[in-house]
Amino acid sequence: MILGDYRMENATVKDITNYLEVLAPLSDAEDFDNVGLLVGNYATEVTGILIALDTLEETVNEAIEKKCNLIVSFHPIIFSGLKKLNGSNYVERVAIKAIQNNIAIYAMHTALDNSFNGVSAKMCEVLGLKNRQFLIPNATNDKIGMGMVADFADEIEEFAFICMLKDKFNANGVRYSSLLGKKIKKVALLGGSGSFAIDAAKSTDADVYVSADFKYHDFFKAEKSIVLVDIGHYESEQFTKNLLEEYLSKKFSNFAIILSEKNTNPINYLQ
């Protein structure tokens, strides 16, 4: 099937996933990951798509309520092998409920992380950053990589930048290393868990590195050469839903493409 600019009608799950894989080929995912069609049949005709960050029981309930028979999820609900399916944990319950209601589940995760127009690119867009490049280019394929480095058109004060992050990402638990008393121009960022890329961010001479899931000792790695900012895992990836909705809406118009209204962030903050 040719994936042109025309609007496709009577699309199957396979038609949808083919188009998603133009944006983020499954072969670009990390080896440890579990991406692709996790539940369902490629031949099923799609009646509606629910786009979610996570697929939980409440997500499947929402899909049922909104008459969507395909969930496009960023995180995979099934990560390691299932040895039984009897509803003893939330992963099994999600799979059972989806199967019982003929709902397909497709996960993108690190395939989209590695895309030049993926998760970290959307973070750049939200912040208004330009001239983006991969933070960690793939060693064998320069078309993919992890994270981004990009610039503000004009410099911004450090604390003003921290406040901007809190506002734009609705991040109520922002944590950051010591401020250095200089303005922010060059920004490194990576959606999701990004402590592994701290040294890479420092090597780019970025003024700040924005990511999530930093541990206590990770902040010492700033070493007064960069500001490290942890805005939260969910917060850093939340706009991935919007990215996928915008992308799919360019191609498919004869059924609903709906952003999940459920906040699946498992972490709460005392206000």
- The domain locations on the chain are 13-111+238-259, 114-231
Each residue's pLDDT tens digit in the chain (271 positions)? Answer: 334 444 556 899 999 999 999 999 999 999 999 999 999 999 999 999 999 999 999 999 999 999 999 999 999 999 888 888 899 999 999 999 999 999 999 999 999 999 999 999 999 999 999 999 999 999 999 999 999 999 999 999 999 999 999 999 999 999 999 999 999 999 999 999 999 999 999 999 999 999 999 999 999 999 999 999 999 999 999 999 999 999 999 999 889 999 999 999 999 998 7
Buried b (16+ CB within 10 A) or exposed e, 149-165: bbbbeeebebeebbebb
| Amino acid 270: pLDDT | 86
Residues 26 and 111 sit within 8 Å (Cβ to Cβ):
yes
Whether 114-231 and 13-111+238-259 are alike in CATH topology: the answer is yes
257 Cβ contact partners less than 8 Å away, ≥ 6 residues apart: 48, 49, 51, 245, 248, 249
| Amino acid 7: pLDDT | 52
What are the tokens at 1?
Answer: 């099937």
Q: Which of 15, 7, 69 is nearest to 42 (CA)?
A: 15
What are the tokens at 175?
Answer: 């944590």
Q: What is the pTM of this model?
A: 0.93
CA 127 – CA 209 distance, rounded (Å): 13
- Residue range 13-111+238-259, CATH number: 3.40.1390.30
Q: Which CATH architecture has domain 114-231?
A: 3-Layer(aba) Sandwich (3.40)
Q: Which of 91, 113, 94 is nearest to 26 (CA)?
A: 113
Residue type, position 256, single letter: A
| Amino acid 84: pLDDT | 86
| Amino acid 38: pLDDT | 97
Residues 97 and 41 sit within 8 Å (Cβ to Cβ):
no
What tens digit of pLDDT does each residue of 131-166 get? 999 999 999 999 999 999 999 999 999 999 999 999
